[in-house]
């Protein structure tokens, strides 16, 4: 698997992304499309992971089975990352869940960590759920914290990213993988992705910006 996967040629992901970008999409439908895109991103993120083979008893006899060969841990970056979590669980129902809270300073655009709670991570495959990779600061901070806890592989799942954000994450965290639905061209003066889709958390929960 490449270190950076962009789903810009996936029409199913494209349908979900277009609805998330649409300024007329209501919070109810925004959550629906975020969930679906979360499933698509998660499936791409675990390609290439170790597999575990076994058997199950069907009504007519034993049958071979295959499943993840490593524990998967989904870590949403609060609060926006919660929008992808249910979609991850739709396709990876055994995934454990951690939480990391990061708040961006409006002036410096730097992330401040206010909450961190994860299950044991030794040997796990961790999916960091960070929908908007703008400067990459929040995701990079999350990845560094999780690497320190012993994760075998860390993959960042995002809805929209910038090349600036991707480059920062990869330079500060060698070995991290990134799966995103799109890479947008720039940031505005407030650090928002353009054209992006606005504030993901506000649109997800229907809160005013």
Looking at residue 112, its pLDDT comes to 77
d(CA 106, CA 128): 23
Model confidence at 1: pLDDT above 60:
no
Under DSSP, the state recorded for 79 is T
Global model pTM greater than 0.75: yes
Q: Residue 2: pLDDT band by 50, 70, 90 thresholds?
A: low
The CATH architecture that domain 4-49+68-205 belongs to is 3-Layer(aba) Sandwich (3.40)
Mapped onto helix, strand or coil, the DSSP state of residue 138 is helix
What confidence tens digit (pLDDT) does each residue in 43-99 have? 999 999 999 999 999 999 999 999 999 999 999 999 899 999 999 999 999 999 999
Listed by start position, the domains of the chain span 4-49+68-205
What residues contact 130, with CB distance under 8 A and at least 6 apart? 77, 80, 81, 138, 139, 142, 156, 157, 158
What six digits make up the tokens of 137? 């600061």
């Amino acid at each position: 698997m490449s270190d950076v996967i962009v789903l810009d040629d996936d029409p199913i992901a494209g349908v979900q992304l277009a609805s998330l970008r649409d300024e007329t999409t209501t919070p109810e439908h925004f959550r629906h499309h975020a969930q679906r895109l979360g499933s698509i991103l998660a499936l791409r993120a675990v390609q290439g992971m170790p597999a575990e083979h076994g058997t199950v008893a069907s009504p007519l006899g034993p049958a071979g089975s295959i499943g993840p060969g490593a524990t998967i841990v989904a870590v949403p970056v609060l609060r926006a990352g919660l929008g992808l979590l249910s979609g991850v669980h739709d396709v990876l129902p055994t995934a454990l869940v951690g939480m990391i809270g990061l708040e961006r300073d409006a002036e410096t655009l730097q992330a401040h960590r206010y909450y961190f709670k994860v299950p044991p991570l030794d040997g796990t495959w961790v999916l960091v759920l960070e929908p908007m990779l703008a400067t990459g600061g929040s995701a990079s901070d999350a990845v560094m914290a999780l690497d320190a806890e012993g994760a075998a592989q860390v993959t960042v799942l995002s809805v929209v990213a910038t090349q600036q954000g991707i480059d920062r994450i990869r330079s500060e965290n060698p070995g991290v993988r990134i799966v995103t639905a799109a890479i947008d061209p720039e940031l505005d003066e407030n650090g928002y992705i353009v054209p992006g889709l606005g504030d993901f958390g506000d649109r997800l929960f229907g809160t005013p910006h």
